[in-house]
Amino acid sequence: MSGRVSEVSVATNGQGMIDVSGLVAAEVANASSDDGLCTVFIRHTSASLVVQENADPSAQDDLERWLERLVPEGDPLYQHTAEGPDDMPAHIKAALTATSLSIPVRAGKLMLGTWQGIFLWEHRRGHNTRRLIIHVL
């Protein structure tokens, strides 16, 4: 076995960024890793991952509204509309951001910068349960 793999669920409620840094840090601590590498993977194509500023909520809000404006609902280009008006924009937003992130670990702690948080970025409306895989080496 190379590393420890765990799966966690995160409940979302509409579009937006959810800080999962604490959840990932807890898995790293459970793995009692010394130095190593933590990889986070999201098992969905209409939600994604991003490392962003965790201090000022207005930065997250601007990111959300900027991406919404770049990839609006109701674009006549979309053919894939059977799963709802928010589905195809969600796939595009996910393609433009990350499905996997790898963060080095030192002395059992994620080596994030001072202002960095790990976020699950929900791109769909409504309530969803999103699954993350966390691999700690």
Q: Kindly tell me which of 120 and 135 has the beta carbon lying closer to a second copy.
A: 135
92 binding a second copy? (CB under 8 A): yes
- Distance in Å, CB of 96 to a second copy, minimum: 6
Does position 11 bind a second copy by CB under 8 A?
Answer: no
As measured in angstroms, the least distance from the Cβ of 24 to a second copy is 13
CB atoms within 10 A of CB 4: 17
Q: Which of 8, 23, 29, 98 binds a second copy (CB under 8 A)?
A: 98
Query: Tokens standing for 34?
Result: 């010394």
